[in-house]
Structure 1
Amino acid sequence: MNNEVWARHANPLSGWSRVSILPLFAIAVWSRDWIGWWALAPVAIVLLWTWLNPRLFSAPASIDNWMSKGVLGEHIWLSRSKDSALSHHAPVIRLLTISTFAGAILLFYGLAVLNLPLTMTGLAVSMLTKLWIQDRMVWVYSEVGDGKGLALLE
């Protein structure tokens, strides 16, 4: 994403509505049990939503909220994760990323075999650890970007 898209994605409506992606994806994939190959249509819609979401919203009037700071922190982390000033975040972010990935494996396996407990466990682990990562990104933002706001993207 370019800086303009990151600025739009910093809109809390974008960030919070993106939280819907994994549950919607799980339902779309699960729908193959009900509608067969037609399930490709809701899967395609969810994938399109994933791409469109950070582009649909305008840049926020204010970033004085948890989600906007988390999105800006993510931008900082992706561009400066090797920065020694941020190195103390790396072990926690690495562990949370591995946990998110483990949850995603459970989720996808549960979806593959249509096992509801595995699917729901994977979904819960993936979403909770992703939100925990988001909280860590707020911390990254508060250390590096606080007071700079969307100017970070210029």
Structure 2
Amino acid sequence: MKLTQAAAATFGLDDDSWKRHANAWSVWTRMAGLAPILLPIYFRDTLGWWAAAPIAAGVIWMWINPHAFKPVHEPRSWAEKGIYGEKMYAADHSLAAEAHRPALRWLIAMAAAGAAIMVYGLVRVEAWPAVFGWALVFVSQLWQIDRFVAIYEEGLRRAAATTQS
């Protein structure tokens, strides 16, 4: 099973929940949802066990989020097209032009490096690596959505060309 398929299975994404996951509100609240989880981890010495409540709430929200919003049947916004492109890519990597695959691999590596730096900063309670690592993860996620938009739009062009011939 591919990584994208495994992630979709983890969040229980079937066709309907992919459409809900594509809702722009879902995308942006998910993107913003990491900071409220990280802040109580960083301030755990000050907050003590009270840090567990916002961390748990944030983790639960991230799990519920892909199912919480109205489904999108026809993507119009950048975020919606990105998630539809991600769904296409998760179903069949060959749908992505060869040029997108190395970029996606590099972006995943960038996110992994950012996550490692972020965890280091959180463990050591050092702000600059925690924030820098979070920023790398955030930017890589936005860039991945952008690549998935391109994959979605190329898929539409291919489908239109197929129906015209």
Which of 98, 105, 123 lines up with 2:109 in the alignment? Answer: 98
What is the Cα deviation at residue 24 of structure 1? 1.7
In the TM superposition, 1:36-75 aligns within 5 A as 36-60=48-72, 62-75=74-87
- Which ranges of structure 2 fall in alignment gaps of 5 or more residues? 1-12, 160-165
Deviations 1:68-91 (CA, angstroms, capped at 9, x unpaired): 00011111111111x165332110
Q: Which amino acid letter does the alignment assign opposite residue 144 of structure 1?
A: G
Which residue does the alignment assign to 1:152? none
Percentage of identical aligned residues: 33
1:1-154 superposed matches below 5 A: 1-60=13-72, 62-81=74-93, 83=94, 86-145=97-156
> RMSD of the alignment, in Å?
1.8
Q: Quote how far apart the aligned CAs of 1:122 are.
A: 0.4
Amino acid at match of 2:114: G
- Equivalent-residue separation in structure 1 for 2:96 and 2:35 (angstroms): 35
TM-score between the two structures when normalised by the length of structure 2? 0.83
The answer on whether the counterparts of 2:23 and 2:71 sit within 8 Å (CA) in structure 1 is: yes
Cα distance in 2 between the residues matched to 1:65 and 1:55: 19
Work out the number of aligned pairs and report it.
Answer: 147
